[in-house]
Amino acid sequence: MTTHDRAGFTVAMLGNPNTGKSTLFNGLAGVHQRVGNYPGVTVEKRVGQARFGRHRLTLIDLPGTYSLAPQSPDEMVAVDVLLGRQSDVAIPDVILCIVDAGNLERNLYLVSQALELERPVVVALNMMDLANQRGVQVDVPQLADRLQVPVIPLQAHRKIGLEALKQALLEAVSGQTPKESTPFPEAFRDEVMRLHQWLQDRFGQRVPRYLVKRLLLDTDGYVSRTKQWRGDGDLRRYLREARERLAAAGVQVPAIETTRRYQWVDGILNGIVTRPVQVGSTVTDHIDRLLTNRIVGTVVFLALMALVFQAIFTWTTPVNELIQRAEAGLGDWVTATLSPGMLRSLLVNGVIAGVGAVLAFLPQIATLFFFIAVLEDCGYMSRAAYLMDGLMARVGLSGKSFIPLVSSFACAVPGIMAARVIEDRRDRLVTILVAPLMSCSARLPVYILLISAFIPHRPLLGRWLGLQSATIIVLYGLGILVAIVVASLLKRTLLKGETPPFIMELPDYRVPLPRVVLARVLEQCRTFVRNAGTLILAVTVLVWAAAYFPHPNGLETRMRAEFSTEAAALDSQIKALEMLDRTGGTQSASKSDASGSRRLLDDLKGQQATLESTISNRIAGAYMEQSFLGRLGKLIAPIVRPLGWDWRIGCAVIASFPAREVVIGAMGVIYNLGDGQDEHSVSLSEHLRRETWPGTNRPVFTVPVALSVMVFFALCAQCAATLIMIRRETGKWRWALFTFVYMTALAYLGALMTYQIGTRILG
Amino acid sequence: MHKLIPLDALAQGRAAKIGRLEGCPKQVKRLEEMGMRCGSSIEVVRCGRPCIIRVGCNRLCFRRHEMVNVWVRELDSRLELAPQP
């Protein structure tokens, strides 16, 4: 077909990691890009648009890979996209292979696979400048001649060569579809042909020849485990026999693939690439001497982590306060504008609170991904993974899990999002599943409230460590300890399987590109709002509804009636004084009399205001008690009783499902203090201490109860956003449910043990 | 000609060539795809577990694994690493 037939075409971008593929994609697509997920897997789907003259290019950026020999569903996506088998993207008209000019041997291995896909291929020879600096020279025309595809030299980070590249892509589309080129011996080609025919006879459909090769080459590869062929005994038998025939002909599977492809690469490169005679130390080597040093490197890494942690923890506070203030302001405005009723309550406590809950995560996400993007783009991230690998290997994970887990101390949501850097599916899953056990910043208000109310301010280790700080440290430690145990258990049971050898490239250091960093931050924020935002809002509204309905009429009147005599007495006293003030004040009373009655009046008015707020708080509390949530709290009272909790604590814990920090506000309502409570409010902690079991003078909150609540919060999964993110990043609700169940079970058990042992020790 | 030794036994800073990759074929293939193949020049930049190695012009972080064994042949000098013209 000719270029005149169509105004747009699709380009799939393929390449090794660290070849500047993302930089090229950003350079070509600019802001015209969308990032999503391929269905059912956690492979990022990046689609961009670019223009070339009157032609529209749709760019599909595939994840960086060293080979197209899929071993997992994630790796299968790239093959499916390239072969046009992925239904949600168009079949590519041309494959763009991005290769690092300084590292052609390994990069051309992937190119040799791409050439077998029977699609037009264009090779972009990126990072020419860096290769030249290192003394590597490539004869580009010769290389193109031998590969029989266009080769375009490129400097993607400076946007040099992009026009020539687009021209080459356009010409490749309008040219002939190339004949398959293959480095394999004849015996293998025959076997491919035979299997191809066999599959067509058996299943009645044409299978792409590349997949036929994969079936033969990958012993226990993912292609044979796809839905199409999984569990097919005949195919398995056929493949075994075919491999035996090949072995008899001297073709060893799977070794034949690497041997032949590298032979082909050596043949292509022979005589057209010149390299420096002596490999000298580069800038990267010098930096690495420090940064990968066990002691210096670890110190630098920990300092960096402290900075990142500090940034997420404290730098985001002003922004979060701004969001909270805006939320409160908007809530007040709605309260003042609308008349009391369901709509107002829904808007203030459901919608505005829900939107606030979503926005509250954005500063953390933006900050964390700013650092991650900078550290990744400059090449440091893999050094961090190297340094932490020894430690993480003990739990059965790799160094790549460290950053997501540390980030989770600030907030598990960005932490879980950051787990994408882990290629190994099982490692990624384990990391995601234990990340919510790290004590996040939302747990801190709960700790602070209960610790300041119940843990005595007493020195433990001189003036260095007080009992209160020690309690916080223990709670953080508890999360870590449980995470270690759970991760080890998961790796040994549910997510058991052979771990591939851990091998990771340490790319050259370079200055991060601001546009790459910015694009990454914006993309993560957008992803979160779009994917988790609506669900978080929905959950908040749902919990609001549970706390609001059935909202019987007459409850308020009844509550007011209880206080009617008191209120009426105050009212008449005030009225009488006011009357006196107006009439008598001018006539005869002395000055001291007047000021005395005014003081009395102010005092009475104060009493009236207090009474009014007591009444409205009591009403709110009464509504909560009779709401579905309150009934649920009473229903689970026997279950939480062994933890030392009364129904109100149980109720507050359920109410905190959308977000942990909500528990404080919920306690405020349940304990008739109104909802404006925070962790520093004296009245709430005072009130908690005074609260007694109904009909007795036994306090509800004792030290063991406070500890039991804190341990519960340290381990529980009371965070809708986290669970929604787990669902998104694992592709399955099953894992979100699993996390909720195992964490809640552990939290219950932990709280139970704390209370039971605590009461025995402390009496 | 030196004899084959396991990668672990190669001292830091010494240059060698990969002589043989042994073990589970699937995993051996993964290493080969990343550039660790027979005949590749290899140098231990930092020993330990994991170690940092330079293979060809790639710098890799590699954790020794029970499923694959990397055997190397030590070279007398770094000059032998240079590609043949």
Start-to-end Cα distance in chain A: 86
Query: Partners of B16 in the beta sheet?
Result: B42, B74
Dump pLDDT digits (tens) for A285-308.
899 999 999 899 999 988 888 888
Helices (H), A627-701: 628-635, 637-640, 647-655, 662-670, 682-690
Dump pLDDT digits (tens) for A597-615.
778 888 888 888 888 878 8
- Kindly determine whether residue A504 and residue B35, on different chains, have CB atoms separated by under 8 Å: no
Residue A282: which H helix or E strand, with range?
none
Question: What is the per-residue pLDDT for A676?
Answer: 64
Residue of chain A minimizing CA distance to B40: A105
Interatomic CA distance for residues A716 and A750, integer angstroms: 10
B49 has a chain A CB within 8 A of its CB: yes
Q: Could you tell me the two tokens for B60?
A: 């890799």
Residue A134 phi/psi, 5-degree rounding, is: -80, 0
* Residue/partner pairs of A487-492 with CB below 8 Å, 24 or more apart: A487/A395, A487/A396, A487/A397, A487/A430, A487/A431, A487/A433, A487/A434, A488/A395, A488/A396, A490/A429, A490/A430, A490/A433, A490/A434, A491/A395, A491/A396, A491/A397, A491/A426, A491/A430, A492/A396
Whether A34 contacts A140, CB under 8 Å: no
Average pLDDT of the segment spanning A173-185: 81
**Percent helix, percent strand, percent coil in chain B, to nearest 5:** 20, 40, 40
pLDDT at A189 over 50: yes
Residue of chain A minimizing CA distance to B32: A258
Residue A464 belongs to a domain: no
Dump pLDDT digits (tens) for A535-590.
778 877 888 888 888 888 777 888 788 888 888 888 888 888 888 777 765 555 56
Interatomic CA distance for residues A30 and A49, integer angstroms: 8
- Determine the residue among B22, B36, B47, B57 to mutate to test chain A binding: the one whose Cβ has the most chain A Cβ atoms within 10 Å: B57
Q: Indicate the Cα dihedral angle A84, A89, A95, A97, nearest 10°.
A: -120
* Same domain as A206, residue A233: yes
Residue B11 belongs to a domain: yes
Which residues of B fall within a CB distance of 8 Å from A279? 54, 57, 78, 81-82
Start-to-end Cα distance in chain B: 22
Cα A553 vs. chain centroid, distance in angstroms? 44
Last residue of a domain, one of A438, A458, A484: A438
Rounded percentage of chain A residues whose pLDDT exceeds 70 = 94
Name the residue with tokens 């300890």. Answer: A481
pLDDT at A279 over 70: no
Question: What is the per-residue pLDDT for A588?
Answer: 52
- Determine the residue among A16, A263, A503, A504 to mutate to test chain B binding: the one whose Cβ has the most chain B Cβ atoms within 10 Å: A503
Residue of chain A minimizing CA distance to B15: A279
- Kindly determine whether residue B60 and residue A506, on different chains, have CB atoms separated by under 8 Å: yes
Nearest-Cα distance to chain A for B40, in Å, is 10
Burial-class residue A529 by CB neighbours within 10 Å (0-12, 13-18, 19+): middle
Nearest-Cα distance to chain A for B9, in Å, is 18
Average pLDDT of the segment spanning A390-407: 86
Question: What is the per-residue pLDDT for A108?
Answer: 95
Q: Could you tell me the two tokens for A31?
A: 């802001």
Report the residue from B57, B78, B83 with minimal CB separation from A103: B57
Interatomic CA distance for residues A309 and A323, integer angstroms: 21
Residue B38 belongs to a domain: yes
B82 has a chain A CB within 8 A of its CB: yes
Question: What is the per-residue pLDDT for A575?
Answer: 84
More confident residue, A14 or A450: A14
pLDDT at A394 over 70: yes
Side-chain-side CA neighbours of residue A593 (13 Å):
10
Residue A153 belongs to a domain: yes
Residue A9 phi/psi, 5-degree rounding, is: -145, 165
- Determine the residue among B17, B18, B27, B33 to mutate to test chain A binding: the one whose Cβ has the most chain A Cβ atoms within 10 Å: B33
A316 vs A360, A506, A696, A722, A728, CA distance in Å? 10, 31, 45, 19, 25
pLDDT at A270 over 80: yes
Averaged pLDDT score across all residues of chain A: 85
Which residues of B fall within a CB distance of 8 Å from A499? 65
Residue B13 belongs to a domain: yes
- Determine the residue among A66, A67, A106 to mutate to test chain B binding: the one whose Cβ has the most chain B Cβ atoms within 10 Å: A106
* Same domain as A138, residue A31: yes
Least confident stretch, A207-216, A317-326, A379-388, A732-741:
A317-326
Whether A658 contacts A670, CB under 8 Å: no
pLDDT at A504 over 90: no
Average pLDDT of the segment spanning A367-377: 87
* Domain that residue A425 falls in: 281-315+361-438
Average pLDDT of the segment spanning A127-156: 91
Least confident stretch, A360-374, A635-649, A689-703, A731-745:
A689-703
Most confidently modeled of A32-36, A286-290, A537-541, A677-681? A286-290
- Kindly determine whether residue B50 and residue A102, on different chains, have CB atoms separated by under 8 Å: no
B66 has a chain A CB within 8 A of its CB: no
Nearest-Cα distance to chain B for A291, in Å, is 12
Cα A635 vs. chain centroid, distance in angstroms? 34
- Kindly determine whether residue B29 and residue A69, on different chains, have CB atoms separated by under 8 Å: yes
At residue B85 the predicted structure's pLDDT band, cuts being 50, 70 and 90, is very low
Dump pLDDT digits (tens) for B15-74.
899 999 998 888 888 889 988 999 899 999 998 888 999 998 889 999 887 778 899 998
Whether A550 contacts A367, CB under 8 Å: no
Average pLDDT of the segment spanning A503-513: 88
Which residues of B fall within a CB distance of 8 Å from A392? none
Residue of chain B minimizing CA distance to A136: B57
Question: What is the per-residue pLDDT for A734?
Answer: 93
Question: What is the per-residue pLDDT for A673?
Answer: 65
DSSP state of A32: -
At residue B84 the predicted structure's pLDDT band, cuts being 50, 70 and 90, is very low
DSSP state of A63: P
At residue A3 the predicted structure's pLDDT band, cuts being 50, 70 and 90, is very low
pLDDT at A358 over 80: no
- Kindly determine whether residue A398 and residue B26, on different chains, have CB atoms separated by under 8 Å: no
Cis (ω within 30 of 0) for the bond into A254?
Answer: yes
Question: What is the per-residue pLDDT for A406?
Answer: 82
B12 has a chain A CB within 8 A of its CB: no
Whether A45 contacts A35, CB under 8 Å: yes
Nearest-Cα distance to chain A for B52, in Å, is 8
CATH number of the domain at B49, please.
2.30.30.90
Which residues of B fall within a CB distance of 8 Å from A258? 29, 32-33, 37
pLDDT at A83 over 90: yes
Interatomic CA distance for residues A234 and A270, integer angstroms: 43
Which residues of A fall within a CB distance of 8 Å from B30? 500-501, 503
More confident residue, A421 or A266: A266
At residue A42 the predicted structure's pLDDT band, cuts being 50, 70 and 90, is low
- Kindly determine whether residue A386 and residue B34, on different chains, have CB atoms separated by under 8 Å: no
* Domain that residue B66 falls in: 4-76
Residue B63 belongs to a domain: yes
Question: What is the per-residue pLDDT for A604?
Answer: 84
Interatomic CA distance for residues A51 and A56, integer angstroms: 5
Last residue of a domain, one of A571, A598, A615: A615
Nearest-Cα distance to chain A for B50, in Å, is 7
Dump pLDDT digits (tens) for A243-269.
999 999 999 888 899 999 999 999 999
Q: Which amino acid is at A578?
A: E
Report the residue from B34, B37, B78 with minimal CB separation from A262: B37
- Bridging pattern class, strands A503-505 and B58-62: antiparallel
Residue B81 belongs to a domain: no
B52 has a chain A CB within 8 A of its CB: yes
- Kindly determine whether residue B30 and residue A503, on different chains, have CB atoms separated by under 8 Å: yes
* Same domain as A164, residue A191: no
pLDDT at B78 over 70: no
CB atoms within 10 A of CB A149: 22
- For chain A, which residues lie within 8 Å of any Cβ of chain B, measuring from their own Cβ? 66-67, 69, 71, 102-103, 105-106, 109, 218-220, 254-255, 257-258, 262, 275, 277-279, 284-285, 288, 292, 294, 382, 385-386, 389-390, 393, 398-399, 498-507
* Same domain as A290, residue A220: no
Among A80, A700, A87, A157, residue whose Cα is nearest residue A378: A157
Residue B53 belongs to a domain: yes
Residue B67 belongs to a domain: yes
The total number of structural domains that make up chain B: 1
